[in-house]
């Protein structure tokens, strides 16, 4: 397959993934874990998707500085200059500004593909097709393009994109509104309306378009990064990034740019996408036992169904008389949680961090 020239993939890999506790920890968060038992970690899967789309030297990883060694360990072809180490998490607008200013000094006419490291994409052929379509439009127009996922349930864990029904170009629509994670009643109305998509968090835009948008909507943030012009891709880059991150605000691309800009477009897409954000998403995507899903477990179940049982070490697990639970076992912690309370796991992790002084982070 012919690769997209003068195009750069930026993989976002800085999150902690606390909803996947106790498997995901601060020292090895979910993107560095084989969360689906495929033999590959999530970041390795993300990298492999883009190695077919862009030149290898054009794949950049943006992550916390404490995870740089993990990136090198799991992606040995990636050079030091391809790893953008953040001293602290300042949300996705900072990621976009850092990557755009750095890559601008490599190629002023380049196109950026921004994608999280923790997504599952089952139909890679369709994914490639949609990325190429978005790339073609972003390359020729001053456009901020996002991939939206056609929803099949009223999910409260995703953001939503409302779009115009008339296509600008085949498969490309103008965005009307962005909505953060809605309550169930509103999500149900979104699904019924037919003009809402899940926000995938994947973006395609030219370097010039995103820098223009940053200057217009987040000028202070972008000024901090643009003032470091000339030091990107040199040994001085880390020193300047460390200084920049102490002064910038934390804001998402969605809130800071996309909700304000007029030139935002979306491709309604369906390529077997899942945001692997919770144990529920793992339960949905594992392909084993119909009654109970397992990972690294020999399960003996009696009068039990609709459960997910996960272990870090192979072992026999016996369950009886329970339905709709997550059971996740590691060396030092065991989580037992009802599936309908999955969004509470993040809060539980915060409580555990305070009570046990970070022992189980």
- Residue 233 inside a domain? The answer is yes
Q: Exposure string (b/e) for 8-17, b if CB count within 10 Å is 16 or more?
A: bbbbbbbbbb
Q: pLDDT tens for residues 333-345?
A: 999 999 988 878 8
Q: Let me know whether 72 and 188 are in one domain.
A: yes
Sheet arrangement for strand 334-338? 292-302, 307-320, 325-329, 334-338
| Tokens matching residue 113 | 């593909």
Report whether 116 contacts 96 (CB < 8 A): no
Same domain, 35 and 89: yes
From 258, 275, 292, give the residue that closes a domain.
275
Is 361 domain-assigned?
Answer: no
As a three-state string, the secondary structure of 274-314 is EECCCHHHHHHHCCCCCCEEEEEEEEEEECCECEEEEEEEE
**Cα-based torsion angle of the residue sequence 235, 238, 244, 248 in order, rounded to the nearest 10 degrees:** 140
C-alpha 72/C-alpha 75 separation (Å) is 5
Tens digits of per-residue pLDDT, 150-178?
A: 998 888 888 899 999 899 988 999 999 98
Same domain, 35 and 147: yes
pLDDT in tens, 7-61: 999 999 998 888 899 999 999 999 999 999 899 999 999 999 999 999 999 999 9
What is the residue range of 338's domain?
279-355
Q: Establish if 2 belongs to a structural domain.
A: no
Domain count within the chain: 2
CATH number of the domain where residue 102 is located: 3.90.550.10
Q: What is the per-residue pLDDT across 115-153, written as a single tens digit (0 to 9) for each?
A: 999 999 999 999 999 999 999 999 999 999 999 999 988
**What's the pLDDT at 343?**
79
User: Which of 35-44, 58-67, 71-80 bottoms out in mean pLDDT, i.e. has the lowest?
Assistant: 35-44
- If asked whether residues 218 and 286 sit together in one domain, one would say no
In a domain, residue 241? The reply is: yes
pTM of the model: 0.94
Both 164 and 123 in a single domain? Answer: yes
Segment holding 128, helix H or strand E: helix 124-140
């Amino acid at each position: 397959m012919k690769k997209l020239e003068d195009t750069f993939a930026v993989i976002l890999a800085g999150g902690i993934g606390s909803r996947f506790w106790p498997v995901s920890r601060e020292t090895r968060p979910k993107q560095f874990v084989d969360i689906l038992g495929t033999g590959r970690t999530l970041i390795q899967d993300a990298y492999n998707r883009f190695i077919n789309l862009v030149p290898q030297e054009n794949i950049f990883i943006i992550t916390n500085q404490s995870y740089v060694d993990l990136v090198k360990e799991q992606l040995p072809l990636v050079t030091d200059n391809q790893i953008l180490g953040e001293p602290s998490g300042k949300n996705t607008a900072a990621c976009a500004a850092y990557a755009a200013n750095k890559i601008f000094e490599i190629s002023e006419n380049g196109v950026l593909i921004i994608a999280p490291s923790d997504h599952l994409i089952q139909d890679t052929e369709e994914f490639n097709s949609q990325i190429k379509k978005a790339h073609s439009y972003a390359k020729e127009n001053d456009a901020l393009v996002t991939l939206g996922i056609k929803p099949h349930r009223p999910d409260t864990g995703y953001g939503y994109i409302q779009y115009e029904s008339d296509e600008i170009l085949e498969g490309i629509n103008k965005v009307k509104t962005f909505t953060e994670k809605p309550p169930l009643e509103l999500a149900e109305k979104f699904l019924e309306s037919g003009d809402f998509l899940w926000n995938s968090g994947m973006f395609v835009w030219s370097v010039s378009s995103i820098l223009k948008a940053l200057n217009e909507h987040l000028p202070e943030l972008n000024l901090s990064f643009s003032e470091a012009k000339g030091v990107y891709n040199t040994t001085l880059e880390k020193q300047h990034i460390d200084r920049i991150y102490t002064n910038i605000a934390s804001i998402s691309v969605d809130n800071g740019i996309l909700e304000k800009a007029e030139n935002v477009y979306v491709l309604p897409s369906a390529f077997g996408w899942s945001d692997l954000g919770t144990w529920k998403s793992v339960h949905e995507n594992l392909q084993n036992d119909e009654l109970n899903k397992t990972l690294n477990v020999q399960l003996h179940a009696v009068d039990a169904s609709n459960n997910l049982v996960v272990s870090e070490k192979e072992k026999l697990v016996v369950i009886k008389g329970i339905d709709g639970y997550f059971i996740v076992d590691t060396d030092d912690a065991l989580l037992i949680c009802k599936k309908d309370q999955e969004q509470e796991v993040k809060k539980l992790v915060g409580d555990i961090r305070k009570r046990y002084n970070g022992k189980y982070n």
